[in-house]
Amino acid sequence: MTATRVAFVDVYVLRGRGDALEVLLLRRARTRARGGSWESVHGKIDPGETPTAAARRELHEETSCTPLALYNLSRVEQFYSHTSDEVVLIPAFVAFVAADAVIRLSEEHDTLLWLTPDDARERCSWPRATRCLGDAVRLFGDGNAGVLEDTLRLL
């Protein structure tokens, strides 16, 4: 029987606000699975780890950044993994980093771009990223969650 599992997290990294809002995209190294694809911070949830803890860990592992603020994007993406016969759920998060944050890539990625939200949505390889970025800009485009701040802010 097909299982359902919360297995991964996505973290959409933003800096700035309003017209100066930028989105960080990472390109998978050509030697890795999905090489050449553009994505947000993405990774597996370790056994016993919460999605929130995984989001913080993956952000640090893939960029070396500590967020100024971390938010629940209030959406969960999903896909069917035919290799494991699972419906995999992916909680999504938004992390704001400092405008001068230094990004140090892990071996998973070979380059990065800071893009406008529209350019980032165009470049994303996964349709789920396009959907999530639309929500991220709508909810956090002013640099915070506005009236939802007390509900969505994790850090």
Question: Residue 90: what pLDDT?
Answer: 98
What is the average pLDDT across 120-146? 96
Q: Which pLDDT belongs to residue 40?
A: 97
Question: pLDDT (tens digit, 9 = 90+) per residue, 11-62?
Answer: 999 999 999 999 999 999 999 889 999 999 999 999 999 999 999 999 999 9
pLDDT for res 97: 98
- Residue 74 contacts residue 152 (beta carbons within 8 Å): yes
Give the closest residue to 88 by CA, choosing from 76, 98, 100.
Answer: 76
Helices (H), the chain: 51-63, 117-123, 127-140, 149-152
Mean pLDDT of the region 61-65: 97
pLDDT category of residue 146 using cuts at 50, 70 and 90: very high
What does pLDDT average to over the chain? Answer: 97
Q: SS3 for 129?
A: helix
Give the three-state DSSP class for 44: strand
CA-wise closest residue to 9 among 59, 53, 44: 44
State residue 33's pLDDT score. 87
Residue pair 43/58 in contact by the 8 Å Cβ criterion: yes
Predicted TM-score (pTM) of the model is 0.96
Write down all domains in the chain, each with its CATH number in brackets: 3-145 (3.90.79.10)
How many Å apart are CA 79 and CA 31, to the nearest integer? 24
Which is it for strands 86-96 and 8-15: parallel, antiparallel or unpaired? parallel
Residue 25 DSSP SS3: strand
pLDDT at 68: 97
User: Average pLDDT, stretch 98-117?
Assistant: 97
- Give the CA radius of gyration of the chain: 15
**Phi/psi of residue 113, each to 5°?**
-140, 140
Residues with Cβ within 8 Å of 145's Cβ and at least 6 positions away in sequence, in order, are 71, 139, 151, 152, 153
Q: What is the pLDDT of residue 22?
A: 98
Task: Give the CA angle between residues 40, 129, 79 to the nearest 5°.
Answer: 110
